[in-house]
Chains A and B, each alone.
Chain A
Amino acid sequence: MRSKVAIQKISKAYGAFIALDDVSLDINPGEFLTLLGPSGSGKTTLLNVLAGFVRPDSGSVTVDGTEFLTLPPHRRNLGMVFQNYALFPHMSVRSNVGYPLRLRGVPKAELDRRAGEALDLVQMGHLADRGVHELSGGQRQRVALARAIVFEPSMLLMDEPLSALDKKLREHMQLELKRLHQRLGTTTVYVTHDQREALTLSDRIALINGGKVVQLGTPDEIYDRPRNKFVADFIGETRFLPVEPGASGPLLYGRALKTRDGAAGRNEKSWLVVRPERLRWRGGDDDGSNRIDAEATDVIYQGDSYLITVRLPDGAEIDLRRSPDMAGGRLPDRGEGIRLWLAPEHTILVTDHA
């Protein structure tokens, strides 16, 4: 089902610790929204408020216009996938998936049919009669997913569902989740601390820190237009170089910086967002703008590419990749000074506070 969710002014404090600080967020029908943030940011608390496991101090959550906060968890009709799957160990795979239907009084024959369909959807149909303890982590994950969608919930909640899987399986499951969402179109709220996972899966990302939504936007908005240094730091492999305000625009170590929004500099101290994949080996104007002086500290052959570690002027190191057959010049030697260039459309300045 495609439900519309309105989260308004939700606050929750545990003693002196403020877990959620006046959070407001609208979730569109059928949207895949990710709550992304470091641990302790409040993202899981917010998910638990939606699920009904945490009662906020104030605020409102409406789903399709109905106030949710006064409903007990078992009457919210939400599917949830827990971090460690939370499958019932005393039930078979089929009974686990059928449990929500059993509670809804679905007749046995229909229950078996629908549980089977849900299991087929996650490619677990052939293991329906197994016990939970006989399954691998990835298989448990799929069963947990089947249990969460079998009763056609109004919304799907996922709490770091892939964090216990190894990298390869995790990436595979991300694609499956995305496909499943495209097929079912259920409004989904997904919690993760993995920025790449968030970028891969989401229609929109709500970046949360200190109990507040720091930035809400599509993956490319979050990546390319970070609102402040925290966002830019959290997303991507980012280094920062200090930028001073100059008379005719921002200056990086005395050199002019042309940014995407024209040369319009800010009047305060800001930071240049340096991401390895945006750095160019050559190019740029003759005036030396947008150039970064750096030093190659390591050049390592890794088969598919060369890994070149480069030390930025502030001493921070950043790893660049070059394909072995790239056209355009020789590899730098170790210790050799190089001049990197950042195209104006990729030149992003951020401040400490939005």
Chain B
Amino acid sequence: MTMAIDLKGGAAPATLNERLLKRHDRRERTALSLLTAPGALLILVVLILPIGWLFWLSFFDASGEPTLANYARMLRPVYVKTFISTFQVAGLVTAACVLLGYPVAYLLSQLSERTAGILMIFVILPFWTSVLVRTYAWLVILQRTGLINTWLTGAGIIEEPMPLVHNLLGTVIGMVHVMLPFLILPLYASMRAIDPVLMRAAANCGATPAQAFRQVFLPLSLPGLAAGIGLVFVLCLGFFVTPALLGGGRVAMWAMQIADNIAVYGNWGAASALGVVLLAVTALILVVLRRIFKVDTFGGAR
């Protein structure tokens, strides 16, 4: 027993200042975590609390009685139809953005940083203009007496003006214009990160340019493409202004349903329930996208 105590005493130099240093360590960590406090507070106030409030509201009807009717109502055909049409529009717009955006991002990624930087201005430029202004501009271009129809009828190519707007087509055109940068930017970043020497390596292995693109470049650009697709699709689900103006009442979107519930019926509970469902679906999509691309992107060669 005395031996043990002696031994402990003998080991004293190893614990020299141990407590003091531990205390300093703790204090330092506390101080550092305090730095995140303003950000955390902001997120709490403008994000967590309102969403919680929304969630809370969705369980009450217009007169303030607790109810599940707001969710039950969503099974009605008109809501189901809106839900499906929202996904269709979002899917169409996303697909169009991929078809138009991938080649642009590819071109930009193959140019010198300088040239790409200059051309990138044209991709980002629409960002600096209000969505409302851009949407009205499309109206001017696409409507029955708009630029395209006037030109084409004037040139004698068509006799009757084509229905380019106030329908699904016009909505998709306007939305693609707004959404394209959200696809191109993350895709471009991921393409830039692909080492060009990999394409040489593929050629050296015997790959034709087409094979090298399909088997090396495309798989490596998929994470950026997934990010872009996720961003565009999710933004489309909640898009209001453009479908409202260019859809001409023929394109029913989830966000318009929410607006109607508040503006026309003053039913905050119903609007909140729609918002909660939209949020849940969006989160689900992001999780699924992440799953798919994590498993498939890097497992493709196995």
In the assembly, what is the distance between CA of A88 and CA of B201, in Å? 9
Q: Report how many A-B pairs have Cβ atoms within 8 Å.
A: 69
- Closest A-chain residue to B199, C-beta based? A86
- Closest A-chain residue to B302, C-beta based? A92
Which residues does chain B contribute within 8 Å of A82, judged by CB atoms?
A: 197, 200-201
Asked if B75 is at the interface (CB within 8 A of a chain A CB), the reply is no
A residues 317-349 in Cβ contact with B at 8 Å: none
Number of B positions contacting A (CB below 8 A) = 24
- By the criterion CB–CB under 8 Å, are B206 and A92 in contact? no
Which stretch from A18-26, A97-105, A202-210 is at the chain B interface? A97-105
- By the criterion CB–CB under 8 Å, are B206 and A104 in contact? yes
Asked if A259 is at the interface (CB within 8 A of a chain B CB), the reply is no
In the assembly, what is the distance between CA of A275 and CA of B211, in Å? 53
- By the criterion CB–CB under 8 Å, are B200 and A86 in contact? yes
Closest chain-B Cβ to A163's Cβ sits at a distance in Å of: 14
Which residues does chain A contribute within 8 Å of B301, judged by CB atoms?
A: 88, 90-92, 95
Asked whether A74 and B302 contact (CB < 8 A) given A88-B198, A88-B216, the answer is no
Asked if B168 is at the interface (CB within 8 A of a chain A CB), the reply is no
- By the criterion CB–CB under 8 Å, are A99 and B205 in contact? yes
Q: Which of A84, A86, A95, A100 is within 8 Å of B206, CB to CB?
A: A100
Asked if A77 is at the interface (CB within 8 A of a chain B CB), the reply is yes
In the assembly, what is the distance between CA of A148 and CA of B197, in Å? 15
Asked if B297 is at the interface (CB within 8 A of a chain A CB), the reply is yes
Asked if A73 is at the interface (CB within 8 A of a chain B CB), the reply is yes
Asked if B244 is at the interface (CB within 8 A of a chain A CB), the reply is no
Closest chain-B Cβ to A316's Cβ sits at a distance in Å of: 41
- By the criterion CB–CB under 8 Å, are B206 and A77 in contact? yes
Which residues does chain B contribute within 8 Å of A99, judged by CB atoms?
A: 202, 205, 207, 215
Asked if B208 is at the interface (CB within 8 A of a chain A CB), the reply is yes
- By the criterion CB–CB under 8 Å, are A90 and B297 in contact? yes
- Closest B-chain residue to A89, C-beta based? B220
Number of A positions contacting B (CB below 8 A) = 29
- Closest B-chain residue to A86, C-beta based? B201
- Closest B-chain residue to A83, C-beta based? B197
Q: Which of B197, B207, B220, B302 is within 8 Å of A103, CB to CB?
A: B207
Asked if A32 is at the interface (CB within 8 A of a chain B CB), the reply is no
User: Counting chain B CB atoms within 10 Å of each CB, which of A75, A78, A90 scores highest?
Assistant: A90
Which residues does chain B contribute within 8 Å of A92, judged by CB atoms?
A: 301-302
Asked if B203 is at the interface (CB within 8 A of a chain A CB), the reply is yes
In the assembly, what is the distance between CA of A77 and CA of B206, in Å? 7
A residues 127-183 in Cβ contact with B at 8 Å: 131, 147-148, 151
Closest chain-B Cβ to A28's Cβ sits at a distance in Å of: 23
Which residues does chain B contribute within 8 Å of A79, judged by CB atoms?
A: 204
In the assembly, what is the distance between CA of A131 and CA of B212, in Å? 20
0/1 interface trace, chain B 187-221, chain A, CB 8 Å (1 if under): 00000000101101111111111011001100110
Which residues does chain A contribute within 8 Å of B220, judged by CB atoms?
A: 89-90
Which residues does chain A contribute within 8 Å of B212, judged by CB atoms?
A: 74
In the assembly, what is the distance between CA of A72 and CA of B210, in Å? 13
Asked whether A86 and B197 contact (CB < 8 A) given A92-B302, A95-B301, A95-B302, the answer is yes
- By the criterion CB–CB under 8 Å, are A73 and B204 in contact? yes
Asked if B56 is at the interface (CB within 8 A of a chain A CB), the reply is no
Which residues does chain B contribute within 8 Å of A88, judged by CB atoms?
A: 198, 201-202, 216, 301
Closest chain-B Cβ to A99's Cβ sits at a distance in Å of: 5
- By the criterion CB–CB under 8 Å, are B207 and A86 in contact? no
- Closest A-chain residue to B215, C-beta based? A99
In the assembly, what is the distance between CA of A96 and CA of B252, in Å? 49
Asked if A53 is at the interface (CB within 8 A of a chain B CB), the reply is yes
Asked if A80 is at the interface (CB within 8 A of a chain B CB), the reply is yes
In the assembly, what is the distance between CA of A100 and CA of B207, in Å? 8
Which residues does chain A contribute within 8 Å of B298, judged by CB atoms?
A: 90, 131
Closest chain-B Cβ to A186's Cβ sits at a distance in Å of: 15
In the assembly, what is the distance between CA of A95 and CA of B201, in Å? 14
Closest chain-A Cβ to B299's Cβ sits at a distance in Å of: 9
Identify 15 residue pairs between A and B in the complex whose beta-carbon atoms are under 8 Å apart, listed by A's number.
Answer: A52-B203, A74-B203, A74-B204, A74-B208, A74-B209, A84-B195, A86-B195, A86-B197, A90-B219, A90-B220, A90-B297, A99-B215, A100-B205, A103-B206, A131-B298
Top 4 A-B residue pairs of the complex, sorted by shortest distance between their CB atoms: A86-B201, A91-B301, A73-B203, A100-B205
Measured CB to CB, the residues of A under 8 A from B are 51-53, 72-75, 77-80, 82, 84, 86-92, 95, 99-100, 103-104, 131, 147-148, 151
Measured CB to CB, the residues of B under 8 A from A are 195, 197-198, 200-209, 211-212, 215-216, 219-220, 297-298, 300-302
